[in-house]
Amino acid sequence: MSIAFLISCLWPTPAAAQKRTVSIKDILTLVQSGQPQLQAYRAETAAAGENVSLAKNTLVPDLTAGYQAGYATDNNITGMDYPGLLLPLSGPVFASSSNSLIPGTALAGLLQWQPLTFGQRAAAVGKASAQFKLAGSYYDNALFQQRYAGVLIYLDVIYLQKLLASQQANIDRTQISLQQSLVLTRQGLRPGLDSVQFQSLYAQAVMERLNTQRLFQAQVLELCRLTGLPNSPDDLVFSDTLVAMQLPLLPDTTGIYTRNPGYQYQQAQVALSAANLKQVERAWRPRLDVWANAYSRGSGIAADGIINKSDGWDLSRSNYGAGIQLSFPVLSFAKVNIQKRQYRSLLQADQAQLAQVSLNLQKQVETAESNYRQNLLIAAEAPVQSNAARLSYEGLRLSYQSGLVDFTRLTQGQYQLLNAEMMEASAYLQVWRSLLDIGVSKGNLDLFINQLK
């Protein structure tokens, strides 16, 4: 296998395509619009908001109008009517039973209104509002987590990109050493085994870069999935590459975790449980209904028993009335008490969950800040190590050419240089990841975004 063929595998000729530059800020924007699941959560939040309007709409009176016609027996002078629009009337009955069918019609309007609910309407509105807030908090938390995942993958992509560059430099160094060993072998200054070993080392370096390229492509594809980008990995250019070469400034560590969407979601869950309990507590209260009914009807039989079926189609009799009804669920107190105990327990459970979330986030903040300080110290030493490894390799390479060191010493120095370059890139990215973790635990990604140049 020739070197040219291996290089063509590593760098295939790209098809003509328009490159798209993507920054971390672009990722934050694209995640919100590119995730169908987030759009579903947003639609569910909008639907939950309509429940608030529905709960408030119960203050509006209900007026129903309708017309009906039918046939019924004449055992009651008012005949039969479909229930719901006509309030029942008591009427005279005949002494004897009859099975004859008489036509009847009715045109009616029924008004129902609950102007006073003794706090039950307010409790229903409070519950609907709590459900709306919970749905909104769920969406905010899902969006926040997706944004965090997008930024984290972006940092992985930058790291792998930096790693690919280091591995490519290692391939170039190995190729140069291979060519030198071939020359020195022909001159009799080096054994032929060195050339074979360099060929093996070169193939190994190529395979390692191909594996890294595979991981790079997979991470870019995952980033495209999160953001909805239609581009292929080869068509994307990542602009925020300085995170692999420079360290962020010391962030402002003030503020607590209460802005974290996970904490706010649990708060909303506690508020919903409290609203459910309030609604149950107000269930054992009286109900006041105001009603008004007006209708006209026709009957095919008169009060004296004379049948005239044609009169059944005329609206010859009118009735109207209005009134109030005060009702109270006398024997439901046992059921309501059971429900109150149930919802009190659910509220206590949600409050305990909120306390646990608070504890977890507090420790996450402390851990993230501690990791940031330690990673910052490590990153400060990484350039020293890589520079020393680079100088050491150059010295070993010259010594190898002069016959002062063997293949093993040279390859050890080359490996140490590659490892130092990888550790430097990793150390810088770990500082940025720690900064991202601080922002995530506090629910404020601006702590991370504001550090980008």
User: In degrees rounded to 5, what are phi and psi of residue 57?
Assistant: -70, -10
pLDDT of residue 80: 62
* pLDDT in the model for residue 17: 55
Per DSSP, the three-state class of 256 is coil
Token reading at 177: 């050493």
pLDDT at 341: 94
The parts of the chain modelled with pLDDT lower than 50 are: 1-11, 13-16, 90-93
Q: Please, what are the domains in the chain?
A: 3-7+18-60+116-286+331-449 (1.20.1600.10), 68-115+290-327 (no CATH)
398/177 Cα distance (integer angstroms)? 11
Task: Give tens-digit pLDDT for 204-243.
Answer: 999 999 999 999 999 999 999 988 888 787 888 898 888 8
Q: Which residue has the tokens 């309990």?
A: 277
Pairing of strands 236-238, 287-299: unpaired
Cβ 402 vs Cβ 215: under 8 Å: no
**Which residue in 170, 168, 148, 156 sits closest to 238, CA to CA?**
156
- Interatomic CA distance for residues 440 and 90, integer angstroms: 71
CA distances from 433 to 34, 263, 353, 368 (A): 24, 21, 28, 9
Q: What is the DSSP letter of 232?
A: -
Q: What is the CA radius of gyration of the chain?
A: 40
Structural contact between residues 414 and 174, judged by C-beta atoms closer than 8 angstroms: yes
Residue 168, Cβ density class (10 Å: 0-12 exposed, 13-18 middle, ≥19 buried): middle
Determine the pLDDT at residue 190: 60
pLDDT of residue 317: 77
Give yes or no for a contact between 195 and 178, defined as CB atoms under 8 angstroms apart.
yes
Tell me how far apart the alpha carbons of residues 283 and 91 are, in angstroms, rounded to a whole number: 37
Calpha distance 280→118 (Å, rounded): 13
Considering only CA atoms, which of 206, 48, 217, 203 is closest in space to residue 136? 48
What's the 3-state SS for 136-197? HHHHHHHHHHHHHHHHHHHHHHHHHHHHHHHHHHHHHHHHHHHHHHHHHHHCCCCCHHHHHH
Q: How far is CA 204 from CA 80, 162, 211, 284, in A?
A: 94, 19, 11, 78
Residues forming beta bridges with residue 73, ordered by sequence position: 101
CA distance 231 to 216: 15
On the 0-12 / 13-18 / 19+ scale of CB atoms within 10 A, 246 is middle
Q: How many CB atoms lie within 10 A of CB 287?
A: 14
Q: Identify whether the C-beta of residue 19 lies closer than 8 Å to the C-beta of residue 235.
A: yes
User: What separation, in Å, do the N-terminal and C-terminal C-alpha atoms of the chain show?
Assistant: 44
